[in-house]
Amino acid sequence: MHQDPHVPNFGKAGRGTKLVLGLALAVEPMITRGTHRMRTLEDEWTVVSTDGSRGAHWEETFTLRPDGTPWALTSLDGGESELKA
């Protein structure tokens, strides 16, 4: 499901992979009530906090418009308002 490039949920602004036309990026923030440390379970899908604290995870998907500005494909209308005939 996930493809290269792998972009972690952390880092310094202005560093890392640059978005280019045709690339979609899933931003998947996570928040927990406890530690920031995570581990992946044996099913290789489920991620839990190492201290067992509750957490939440969601996803937003972005790409670039031809003019280089970001386009949220996961907006409430599914990005439909951004489609041009």
Distance of alpha carbon 21 from alpha carbon 53, whole angstroms: 38
Residue 64 has pLDDT above 60, yes or no: yes
Burial bucket for residue 38 (CB in 10 Å: 0-12, 13-18, 19+): middle
- Domain assignment present for residue 16? The answer is no
Asked if residue 78 has pLDDT above 80, the reply is no
How many domains in the chain? 1
Record the tokens describing residue 23, joined without a space. Answer: 């690339």
Structural domain includes residue 71: yes
CB 59 within 8 A of CB 30: no
The predicted-structure confidence for 9-36, as pLDDT tens digits, reads as follows 678 888 887 778 888 888 888 889 999 8
Would you say residue 15 lies in a domain?
no
Q: Is residue 51 situated within a structural domain?
A: yes
Predicted confidence band at 84 (pLDDT cuts at 50, 70, 90)? low
Per-residue confidence band for 8, with pLDDT thresholds at 50, 70 and 90? confident
In this structure, the dihedral spanned by the alpha carbons of residues 19, 27, 16 and 11, taken in order and rounded to 10 degrees, is 150
Tokens of 74: 């996961």
Q: Is residue 60 part of a domain?
A: yes
Its domain, for residue 63, covers 23-77
The neighbouring-strand residues paired with 81 are none
Residue 9 lies in a domain: no
**Does residue 14 fall inside a structural domain?**
no
